[in-house]
Amino acid sequence: MSARVYVLNGPNLGRLGTRQVDVYGVTSYADLVELCETTGRDLGLDVVVRQTDAEHELLGWLHAAADERAAVVLNPAAWSHYSIAVRDACAMLRGPLVEVHISNIHTREEFRHHSVVSAVATGVICGLGVDGYRLALHHLASRRDQTA
Ligand code: DQA
């Protein structure tokens, strides 16, 4: 497995810190990028963090991650609940995929309870706030160490 990890974020996550702070917390997207990059540095991972509101852009990033056999941490945001295209791209990945949700989607509206991505993810972290990203990176680092 490559030490490169892509942390990919779907629609509206660029608005973290101002968006529904009661649900998603006060951490800004810039702070989230910093958290992931710092965690990656500490763990010896080459972490690349991205966010997009355009589905085709996420698909392109997932294709590139598949070609590189890279590990991915993905918060598909609203696409989790209906994008078969995102799921199909995730199914092509050859490295591990950790799906992260900041909020606990199971305690929210019913339409959020199902993620079409989860069945093709290695694992899912949800409801632990932005700490879920840090935990996902720790998990990927420990997998890498086990397979090294
Ligand atoms: C989210 C949960 C989704 O239901 C929502 O559409 C998001 C963020 C989360 O991180 O909790 O945009 O994925």
**14 CA → ligand 1 middle, Å:** 12
Which residue do the tokens 């993905």 mark?
74
CA 70 centroid distance within chain: 13
**12 CA → ligand 1 middle, Å:** 9
Q: What is the pLDDT of residue 23?
A: 93
Atom of ligand 1 nearest to the CA of 75: 13
Q: What is the pLDDT of residue 7?
A: 98
Q: What is the pLDDT of residue 147?
A: 67
> Is it the case that residue 5 has pLDDT exceeding 50?
yes
Nearest protein Cα to ligand 1, atom 8:
77
> Is it the case that residue 2 has pLDDT exceeding 90?
no
Q: Give residue 121's pLDDT band: very low, low, confident or very high (50, 70, 90).
A: very high
Q: Give the tens place of pLDDT for each residue, 83-117.
A: 999 999 999 999 999 999 999 999 999 999 999 99
- Rounded to 10°, the helix 131-147/29-43 angle is 20
